[in-house]
Amino acid sequence: MTRAVAAGAERAKGTGAELARMLGTLLWVVGGAAAVLAVLGAVPGWLTGEAGARGASSIAEAEARLGARILLPAFQPARLGWPPTEIRTAGGRRGSVLVGFTPREGAPVEIVQACEPGRAIDAPLLEGRNVLSERRTLVGARPARLATVSIDGAVWQELAVDVGGRAVLLRTRGDVDELYKIAHSFHGRFDDPEGAP
């Protein structure tokens, strides 16, 4: 009887060890595969330098790169013209974008935005920016912030607004009223009592 119990215990021990070996190996193999896939998935970001900003030749190219629609205002002063003179993206998929207009006459305007609600604008698009002063303001009934910033030595007026949860910065080196008009016109989103699109 004792021998039978000992043999049974030995068998159970062997079974347990085999089960543990099987599961351990499976975890090791699947975990390794997941790690390799994750690294391979991250490589394009490293190669293209998601850490920095990349230029794009068109809005369509930037949208394809970001995998998101870029918010454009309904009102755009005629003096700015189209297409934008500068488009830069950062942060990879669902990152951020800067759309710049440098007209032949008058002050330049830039629209910087995050492409995902709740996400901050990626740092490469804010490089060289120092806030000199900042105050709260309203765009319609919506809270906003108006700041004076220095970017690479040049002074800009910057209006920070929230469009459907997405952080948007409007900058100009000229008329601040123009920024408010542009901010108002983001496809009527600011007039929507629910706010977010």
Partner 1 sequence: MASATWGELLAQAILHALVASLLVEALVRSWSVREPWQRMSLRLLALGHPLFVFPALVVLFPSRGGDPFRAHLALFAGRGWAEVSLLGVPLFDLWVGALASLGVVLFLLDAWPILRRRRRPPLAAAPADPADGARLARELPFVAARLGLSPPPVLHLHREGPVLFCTGVRRPAVVISSGTLALLDDEELRAALAHELAHVARHDPLRSWVLMAGRALMCLNPAFQVLSRAVARDAEWLADERAAEACGDRVALASALLKLHRASTRPPPVPRTLPFATTLAEPLARVQSLDIEERCRRLLDPAPAPLPFGRVRLVLAGTSLAGLLFFVV
Query: Which positions lie near partner 1, rule CB under 8 A?
Result: 15, 18-19, 22-23, 25-26, 28-30, 32-34, 37-38, 40-41, 43-45, 47-48, 65, 67-68, 92-94, 116
**Exposed/middle/buried for residue 132 (C-beta within 10 Å: 0-12, 13-18, 19+):** exposed
Bond prior to 83 in cis (omega within 30° of 0) = yes
Instruction: Determine the Cα–Cα distance for residues 17 and 25; give it in Å rounded to an integer.
Output: 12
Q: How far is the CB of 153 from partner 1 (least distance, A)?
A: 32
If you search the block for the tokens 């390799």, which residue do you land on?
36
- Edge-to-edge strand list for the sheet holding 86-90: 53-55, 86-90, 96-101, 109-114, 166-172, 154-163, 142-151, 129-139
Q: Is 40 or 78 the residue whose CB approaches partner 1 more closely?
A: 40
Q: How far is the CB of 184 from partner 1 (least distance, A)?
A: 27
Instruction: Determine the Cα–Cα distance for residues 67 and 70; give it in Å rounded to an integer.
Output: 9
Q: How far is the CB of 29 from partner 1 (least distance, A)?
A: 5
Q: Is 20 or 138 the residue whose CB approaches partner 1 more closely?
A: 20
Instruction: Determine the Cα–Cα distance for residues 61 and 122; give it in Å rounded to an integer.
Output: 18
Could you give the count of Cα atoms lying within 13 Å of 182 in the half-sphere of its Cβ? 25
Q: How far is the CB of 62 from partner 1 (least distance, A)?
A: 12
Q: Is 26 or 155 the residue whose CB approaches partner 1 more closely?
A: 26
Q: How far is the CB of 65 from partner 1 (least distance, A)?
A: 6
Q: Is 45 or 174 the residue whose CB approaches partner 1 more closely?
A: 45
Q: Is 48 or 150 the residue whose CB approaches partner 1 more closely?
A: 48
